[in-house]
Amino acid sequence: MNSSPAPQAFHRPPGPVRIAAIQTVSGPDVDANLDAAAALVAEAAAAGAVLVALPEYFPLISTDESAKVRIREAEGDGPLQDFLAATARRHGVWLVGGTIPLCASVDDRVRNSTLVFDDQGRRVARYDKIHLFGFCRGEERYDEAATIERGGEVCCFDSPVGRTGLSVCYDLRFPELFRAMGEVDLIVLPAAFTFTTGRAHWEVLLRARAIENQCYVMAPAQGGRHPGGRRTWGHTMIIDPWGEVLACREEGPGVVLAELDPGRIAEVRESLPALRHRCLG
């Protein structure tokens, strides 16, 4: 697998471009999950998407939290990374690879990592999830820190859709991360929000990030009932810089498509120059 960075540098596209967010309902069978993801990426590419994004944990969701440790890969070497590179190359799309487990500094944890591949299958960016989810309410308990080592670096990259920032799921609750990205055209946030927290907070937080950063937000999500009983919120969506939801899929596997219009970004920022009016930070 060629993981060298792409030599090209992109600026904001001259006109609208199509982007696609994938929704899955992943389970413990990695091969089945990859087959499902491949079919959905193919559907997005056939619909004209230039950039496609998969959800968090797309290769594996299991009731056994240590399962992700057992399939972890070294950076640049492994079947999950090969799958992402080959899929991007096969369909000629830029692919934001949800998250996959990469090796951490200790053997019993992983990095929850988003890798981006260009349309030639070359890796161009990596982001390791910084904020680790913890939740406890009655029988519902989550502690990502038990199996995941957090990242520490903000990641942005240039693509055919413009300047793009990466974040993952629980990161959504920490607006300082998005401010640290600077001015971006698109924020991508692969996620696996729980049904409980998603129903209460998912859409309002996504729309807030789009409004306050005056950019598009694309949030590919896990959405449905998984083997073992876990339920994720879904509602994969794409939001414009004014905070309007352009497209949404509530539940079940599928493709969410929308146009990213650089003219819309410019219009919003010119009419309401909030980014230029910032006084703190």
- The residues carrying an active-site annotation are 56, 129, 169
DSSP string, 60-99: ---S-TTHHHHT-BBTTBSHHHHHHHHHHHHHT-EEE---
> Is residue 135 left, alpha or beta, with left meaning phi > 0 and alpha meaning psi from -120 to 50?
beta
Please give the structure tokens belonging to residue 173. Answer: 């609750």
Angle made by CA atoms 238, 20, 164, in degrees to the nearest 5 = 70
Angle made by CA atoms 172, 28, 138, in degrees to the nearest 5 = 55
Alpha helices in 92-200 (DSSP H): 175-180, 195-197
Q: From the centroid of its chain, how far is CA 112? A: 11
Q: How far apart are CA 250 and CA 229, in angstroms?
A: 18
Residue type, 106: V
